[in-house]
Amino acid sequence: MTKILHRTIGTSLPRAVSGEGIYITDSEGRSYIDGSGGAAVSCLGHNHPEILEAMSVQMRRIGYAHTSFFTTDVAEELADRLVDLAPDGLDYVYLVSGGSEAVEAALKMARQYFVEVGQPQRRHIIARRQSYHGNTIGALATGGNAWRRAQFQPILPETHHVSPCYAYRDMRLGETPEGYAERLAAELETKIIELGAEEVMAFVAEPVVGATLGAVGPVADYFRRVRQVCDKYGILLILDEVMCGMGRTGTIFALEQEGIVPDLVTVAKGLGGGFQPIGAVILAGKIYRAFAEGSGLFQHGHTYMGHPIAAAAANKVVEILTRPEIMANVIKMGDRLQAGLDETLGQSPYVGDIRGRGLFRGVELVADRNTKKPFDPSRKLHSRIKREAMQRGLMCYPMGGTVDGVHGDHVLLAPPYIIEPAQIDMIVERLAEAIIAATESRE
């Protein structure tokens, strides 16, 4: 009997014993294609020799130094590297141990910024329904994942939500992408005015929505219009790239494809490639200066932030990501994955939409593709697909509640950036088999 409180109690999980490239092997000798990178984490695969060596070198120097006493070369190098890669204006880095921590820190930065600049009345956070920003209390409150929030609602801080940019379901008949973007921006502006523009501090969004919607990207002009609304009312724009960033969509930062610069951006998951827990907030110079010229500190901190071994791993991961062949492969293999999914599943009566960017793709399942009616949630189709995929040696990331937190199912794919064409084809084949088996099952 396990002594671990697993995510789902009573299930029997295979034991991972080794990993190599895009594969994980269990204790029974079965091999699985890591078609989801875990949770979009293992961007460079498993057991990467350069990353292991960088960690080993750092271990032999120093394994831990608390950041209230010391900084380290590897942490400084990582910050320099991230700032060099980030759009102009994002000039400083705050290192943490994961995505939820990064979002919590960004929210606190936003609040403290307004205190420092003499606008302490600003307190409201606006985000989007069907979003996900982490599982700590502040991050969970900010996110719009109804199922994850439900039982914890009484203890969540007050936050506010507007519509997601979810064209497959929410763009009206005859509406252009530009018109849809304008409508959503107007909804955000209305919410700001309703709350009191002088009391809103931040709008939070994922450039490409990950776990909750399944690789849903914005329509044309959406984020440019959002940036304009935030600027009009002096509100900070926080972009959450914990899942979609660090090259996942074909550029180091997903926001690069939107032509805007946020005030704060959070990264994690692919930042450490799964080799160590790490995350970061990259912040605008004006926020740093407000702290520096005001109280002289950021009133926040964690024990393991800036951990030298985590920083060493991330530093090497990011260095590898900047090699031209890596992003080129993300784009090329992402196109192949989309094409393969379109060809294999595009005509399925149970597949409503296939979407995404780079090696970040989602497949939305429907009971009726003409009406877009989702499957009855009691069928737990996403769980069946995961089980069927694992039986076929494929790790994917199915989720339920796609439409409203209760109804709808999708599958997220986020394989390592080092994947090869034949391996892409195997993912498509195994996923298609799993979807067919799950949708045809009447258990």
Q: How would you write the chain as a 3-class SS string?
A: CCCCCCCCCCCCCCCEEEEEECEEEECCCCEEEECCHHHHCCCCCECCHHHHHHHHHHHCCCCCCCCCCCCCHHHHHHHHHHHHHCCCCEEEEEEECCHHHHHHHHHHHHHHHHHHCCCCCCCEEEEECCCCCCCCHHHHHHCCCHHHHHHHHHHCCCCEEECCCCHHHHCCCCCCHHHHHHHHHHHHHHHHHHHCHHHEEEEEECCCECCCCCCECCCCCHHHHHHHHHHHCCCEEEEECCCCCCCCCCCCCHHHHHCCCCCEEEECHHHCCCCCCCEEEEEEHHHHHHHHHCCCCCCCCCCCCCCHHHHHHHHHHHHHHCCHHHHHHHHHHHHHHHHHHHHHHCCCCCEEEEEEECCEEEEEECCECCCCECCCHHHCHHHHHHHHHHHCCEECEEEECCCCCCCCEEEEECCCCCCCHHHHHHHHHHHHHHHHHHHHCCC
Confidence band (pLDDT; 50, 70, 90) for 441?
confident
Distance, CA of 387 to CA of 394 (rounded, Å): 9
pLDDT by residue (tens digit) across 95-121? 999 999 999 999 999 999 999 999 999
Q: Are residues 81 and 219 in the same domain?
A: yes
Which CATH number does the domain housing residue 416 bear? 3.90.1150.10
Domain final residue, candidates 259, 287, 321: 321
CB 243 within 8 A of CB 255: no
Specify if 43 maps to a domain.
no
What lies within 8 Å, CB to CB, of 247 at 6+ separation is 43, 270, 321, 326, 327, 330, 358, 417
Confidence at residue 121, expressed as pLDDT on a 0 to 100 scale: 98
pLDDT by residue (tens digit) across 279-318? 999 999 999 999 999 999 999 999 999 999 999 999 999 9
Domain final residue, candidates 321, 348, 365: 321
Q: Are residues 334 and 252 in the same domain?
A: no
Average pLDDT over residues 41-63: 98
Specify if 21 maps to a domain.
yes
pLDDT by residue (tens digit) across 152-171? 999 999 999 999 999 999 99
Specify if 47 maps to a domain.
no
Q: Are residues 359 and 315 in the same domain?
A: no
Specify if 1 maps to a domain.
no
Average pLDDT over residues 178-197: 98
Specify if 435 maps to a domain.
yes
Which CATH number does the domain housing residue 229 bear? 3.40.640.10
Write down the residue that tokens 């209230």 correspond to.
68
Residue 442 has pLDDT above 70, yes or no: no
**Pair of tokens at residue 321:** 């990501």
Specify if 175 maps to a domain.
yes
Specify if 352 maps to a domain.
yes
Confidence at residue 316, expressed as pLDDT on a 0 to 100 scale: 98
Residue type, 158: E
Confidence at residue 58, expressed as pLDDT on a 0 to 100 scale: 98
Q: Are residues 336 and 212 in the same domain?
A: no
Q: Are residues 293 and 354 in the same domain?
A: no
Specify if 385 maps to a domain.
yes
Q: Are residues 21 and 109 in the same domain?
A: no
For helices 308-321 and 73-85, the axis angle rounded to 10 degrees is 30
Q: Are residues 92 and 162 in the same domain?
A: yes
Q: Are residues 258 and 337 in the same domain?
A: no
Average pLDDT over residues 199-218: 98
The CA distances from residue 62 to 93, 277, 304, 310, 431, in Å, are 22, 17, 14, 12, 44
Q: Are residues 343 and 395 in the same domain?
A: yes
Confidence at residue 297, expressed as pLDDT on a 0 to 100 scale: 98
The CA distances from residue 163 to 108, 145, 184, 433, in Å, are 24, 12, 7, 34
Q: Are residues 104 and 201 in the same domain?
A: yes
The CA distances from residue 326 to 17, 91, 422, in Å, are 27, 25, 17
What lies within 8 Å, CB to CB, of 61 at 6+ separation is 308
The average confidence (pLDDT) of the chain is: 97
Distance, CA of 231 to CA of 213 (rounded, Å): 27
What lies within 8 Å, CB to CB, of 50 at 6+ separation is 316, 320
Q: Are residues 241 and 303 in the same domain?
A: yes
Residue 358 has pLDDT above 90, yes or no: yes
Q: Which domain holds residue 365?
A: 16-34+324-440
Confidence band (pLDDT; 50, 70, 90) for 417?
very high
Confidence at residue 10, expressed as pLDDT on a 0 to 100 scale: 86
Confidence at residue 1, expressed as pLDDT on a 0 to 100 scale: 81
Domain final residue, candidates 305, 321, 337: 321
pLDDT by residue (tens digit) across 54-86? 999 999 999 999 999 999 999 999 999 999 999
Average pLDDT over residues 198-212: 98
Residue type, 163: S
The CA distances from residue 121 to 112, 118, 125, 283, in Å, are 11, 9, 12, 22
Query: How many domains, the chain?
Result: 2
Q: Are residues 86 and 115 in the same domain?
A: yes
Residue 443 has pLDDT above 90, yes or no: no
